[in-house]
Amino acid sequence: MTIRIKKEWIGMLLLIIILSILFVINQESDEVIEEVIVQEASMIKVYISGEVKIPGVYEVESKDRLDVVIKLAGGFTEKADTRGVNLARLLKDGEMIVVYEQGDDVVYIGLDIFNYGDTTVLESVEGIGEVLAKRIVDYRESNGLYTTYEDLLVVDGIGAQKLKMIQSSVDD
């Protein structure tokens, strides 16, 4: 009778050990899958063209800054106008980056004025002075490109009326 009880206990102990091992293996598998999903979600693609040595679409981490893409693109050409290029700015998925040639007259239209224009370009827009132009650029460099005109409402000094005036000025 005691041998039979010992066999039952040994059998139950083995069952518990096997189930524990299966549980641990399953947990590790879930962690690996979650890690892969997080890694894939943190990758973005950006397109860079113009005065870089190897223009094209590059996949980078979402936390990367413009300097990483410039390096992947082989760096600037000798003709590149780097004055308006902020190497420290964050990137957005699907973004297009153009590095212009020195001496090019760059004409921005519509929302591109706010996404790519420097303070001098922004000051040429009706209703935007030196201080507001700097706020627009600072916000863009910290948070990325504006996707709609309404995104400008988060910039201190731009309300509904100012936005209407600005938008009608650049859309003419």
Rounded CA-CA distance 97/119 in Å is: 18
C-alpha distances (whole Å) from 157 to each of 117, 153, 161 are 18, 8, 11
- The pTM assigned to this predicted structure is 0.52
Burial group, residue 95, by CB count within 10 angstroms (0-12, 13-18, 19+): middle
CA nearest neighbour of 46 among 32, 58, 34, 28: 58
Give the pLDDT band (50/70/90) at residue 8.
confident
Q: Note the pLDDT tens digit of each residue in 27-86.
A: 766 565 555 555 555 899 999 999 999 999 999 999 999 999 999 999 999 999 887 788
CA nearest neighbour of 136 among 122, 120, 150: 122
Name the token pair of 73: 């693109």
**Phi then psi dihedrals of residue 58, to 5 deg:** -125, 140
103 pLDDT higher than 70 = yes
Rounded CA-CA distance 5/84 in Å is: 82
